[in-house]
Structures are given as C-alpha cells and as structure tokens.
Amino acid sequence: MTPEFEEWLTTIHSDKKPGIDALRESEAHFRQLFEMHRDVMLLIDYQSRTIVDANPAAAQFYGYPLESLRGMSVSRINAQQESEIHHQRQKAIAGEQNIFSFDHRLANGDVRTVESHISLVSYRGKSLFFSIIHDITERKRVEAELRIVTAAFESQESMVITDANSVILKVNHAFTKTTGYTSEEVVGQTPSLLKSGRHDADFYDEMWDTLKRTGKWQGEVWDRRKNGEIYPKWLTITAVKGENGVTTHYVGLHIDITERKQAEEKISNMAYHDHLTGLANRALFYDRLQQAGAHLQRNRNRMGMLMLDLDRFKLINDELGHEWGDRVLVEVSSRLMRCVRSTDTVARLGGDEFSIILLDVPSEEFVCKMAEKVITVIGQSLVLKGGHYEVGVSIGICLASSDDQDMETLVKKADAAMYQAKESGRNCYCIFDKNQG
C-alpha cells in the first residue's frame, strides 16, 4: 500500500466532517489511486454481498471485464463455504480481524489462495468493505512444501545435509540417536567421521563417480557409531542442484539395517546349519566340499575326508527316548568340534551320521591320529538319566591330492571305508583301499 493510499484511508476514517469540496477532492484522489494501483482492490457491499467497484488490477487478476465485476455477487469468486464466509464477515464488521485468507475462483476456473486486507469505509454515503487482495498461492505452496520437508527431515530415518564439499550443515534427531553423535559434534565435519574401515578407496571412488554422473547413489555401507560399534546401513545420497545445474548440496538418507542383517544371518544359518547341533548340514557340507576341492587344486596339497557313524546310539535312543537321544547327538557334536582345527568342517549329514573335511593335511599319519583322537573323545562315558552310557564311532577315511577332481567320489570312498570299519568290529577306523572300490 502506498503512503498516499494510507493517507486517504486515514482521511475517510477521520471523525472530522470535511466540506463538500474536500469530499470531492478526496473521492477524486481515491479514484485515481484506486484505478492506478497495481494491487487488486474491491469495494464490496457487505450487506448485499455484491462488488460495488473493482480496479483494473482486479479485472486482470480475475479474468473478468470491469463491467462484469461491478455488481457481481461475491459468491462467484469466493470458493469458501458460505458459513465460513459469514463468520469472517462478522469479524470484519466488528473490527475483530482485518486480514483474511480466502480461496478465490478466477474466470477460467482456476482457484487461487488470496490474502484479503479488509477495511470498513464510508463511500458515497454507504458503509462498504474496502478489500486489498494479494495472491499468496505460491507462498502457501512453498510453506506447504517446507512443512513437508521439515516433517520428512524429522522422520524416523537418519538424514544429513551437506554442502557441495561434503561439509555437514545439518542432521536430524534420528541421526544423533542412531550414531550417538550430537549435532554440535558433526556439523562442520564430513561424513568420513563415520567410516568403519570396512570399505576401500575403490568403493568410495565408485560411489562418488556414480553420484556425479547420475545425481544419486544408494547401497549398503558399514559405518561406525560414536561408541565404536560398526553397523550396517542402507545409504541413499541425492545431489541437490541449483538453477544453473551445479550441485549445491547433498542429502543423505541413512536406514539402520542391523536388525535386517541379523534376520538374514539367522535365515542363512537355519538354511545351512543343523537345527539340533548347530553343525554344518548336508547343504553346507557339499558347499564346503566344493570349496575344499578348489583349494586343493590351487595349493597342490592334500586333504582328508572322514565319514563317521555312531555305534550303540540306537540302543540309547530306544531305551531313553528321542529327547535323550538328541542330547547325545548334541554332546557328540560338541566333542567333535573340540577335536578339529578352525579350518576344518564338521557336518551332521543326518541321524547319527557325521563327516569331517580336513584341509591341508601333511600326511596320512596326521589323519589317522585325528581319527584316533575322535574315537577316544567320543568313547568317553555319558551321564544320562543318572546312568553311565557309552557310544562308539566307526570312521571311514579317504585321502585326496590335487590329482583327484571328483569330490563326490571322495565321499563315496570315505563312506565305503566307514562300512568296512563297522564290519571290522566297530569303534575303529579304516582307510579306503582302492581294492574296496
């Protein structure tokens, strides 16, 4: 509003009674300001709710000719509910409020949000609303977007905003909760503060190359919390570009996937480990067997395969029941794990049948001593239901060198040797003899 217009409004609200000439001069002054002003202006008869007059800026804004606006019902342009319009009109008449927000409908059907500054004036002997209208549609849109961005920023997921040089400008509460760092501790730093050391330089080079080419990168990253704990997260980085297309900021969304990774690990463990004993199951056994074969070819050394079958287990299982039989299997598994090296694999293939894969065996004697150790340890007394029980184990052994290509055949040979051990009196071991095949 111009100073001249403010002066005129002061005049028409004054208690002084100006003369006829002064009134004419004031009205002419008003008419000039009214028609020349760039703001949308309406004079409204609030009793009949019709537009008494409108300026050219109003005609341009609403898309109606001035002649059409004059005498038009306000309901043609005001898209608010009638009850709401009435309530706000009463506030304006009482002088309780003079700034209102309305949705106004244009001639082409578009609806714009406007801010209406309403003054109660006397014009040509009649009390009217003098309304100065500003289009605030864009401002409202920006405010709404800002509210959405603010709500999103304070969401349950960690968010980081950096400048173009990756200097942290802002983090949300979820970030501080996840990482353990306060906002003050990270603002001014770079995200490298969180590096766990699990990823090499090539990993980060690829990340930034993709980000610069496409404006976005996402993937699994292992970071370090303030307390030193390393944890997995799913990171999405988006480049924010200015009008000239140059990156001005980066926004990082961090989702802690610790629980998901634990669930995946649990599922994987269930798929590849025996549910009772925790040993490798048949699926993992054959996977490890193929790995052992590849290791054998690379290192040109020897490996050993032991197939084991418990002796007298069925008697205990039948006498004491499956629950106690399961306890025996768990104890046997624990004893087997104490016999082997960390590089070896112990598997339960089913029932009371087990297998051991020995890598990098120096000699046949080494494997035989391993078998003797297993027989001794497994044969130690078991206390079950207050009584002492013993199980034995029959072991078949097969050695393989880098010349042996077929791991399946290795299993069959060790199995044949195991049956030979059973036929030889049980609780002993036999080494596969090619004459057996």
Residue range 94-135, pLDDT digits in tens: 889 999 999 999 999 999 999 999 999 887 778 999 999 999
Every domain of the chain with CATH number 3.30.450.20 lies at: 3-138, 154-261
Active-site positions? 352
pLDDT at site 282: 93
Tokens of 222: 């292992």
User: Would you tell me how many other CB atoms lie within 10 Å of the CB of residue 286?
Assistant: 16
pLDDT at site 142: 82
Tokens of 130: 């003098």
**Rounded mean pLDDT, 329-349:** 96
**Rounded mean pLDDT, 261-275:** 86
170 HSE (CA, 13 A, CB side): 8
pLDDT exceeds 60 at position 4: no
pLDDT at site 22: 53
Using 50, 70 and 90 to split pLDDT, how confident is the model at 347? very high
User: 154-261: what CATH class?
Assistant: alpha beta
Element (H, E) at 327: helix 322-339
Percent share of the chain, pLDDT over 90: 69
User: 3-138: what CATH class?
Assistant: alpha beta
Give CA torsion, residues 400, 401, 402, 404, to 10 deg: -40
Closest-CA residue to 46 (of 90, 99, 15): 90
Closest-CA residue to 102 (of 115, 93, 111): 115
**Rounded mean pLDDT, 60-71:** 95
Longest dimension (CA), the chain: 136
Q: What is the pTM of this model?
A: 0.51
> What is the distance, to the nearest Å, from the Cα of residue 278 to the centroid of all Cα atoms in its chain?
32
Distance CA 281, CA 431 (A): 24
59: left (phi over 0), alpha (psi -120 to 50) or beta: alpha
Distance CA 258, CA 265 (A): 10
What pLDDT, in 10s, does the model give residues 135-171?
A: 999 998 888 777 767 777 777 789 999 999 999 999 9
Q: Is 18 helix (H, G, I), strand (E, B) or coil?
A: coil
Mean pLDDT for the chain? Answer: 88
pLDDT exceeds 70 at position 18: no
Q: Is 114 helix (H, G, I), strand (E, B) or coil?
A: strand
Every domain of the chain with CATH number 3.30.70.270 lies at: 273-431
pLDDT exceeds 80 at position 218: yes
347: left (phi over 0), alpha (psi -120 to 50) or beta: beta
For residue 36, what are the contacts with CB-CB under 8 A and spacing of at least 6? none
pLDDT exceeds 60 at position 12: no
Topology of 273-431 in CATH?
Answer: Alpha-Beta Plaits (3.30.70)
**Is residue 250 within 8 Å of residue 191, measured between CB atoms?**
no
Using 50, 70 and 90 to split pLDDT, how confident is the model at 15? very low
pLDDT at site 344: 95
**Is residue 281 within 8 Å of residue 347, measured between CB atoms?**
yes
pLDDT exceeds 90 at position 205: yes
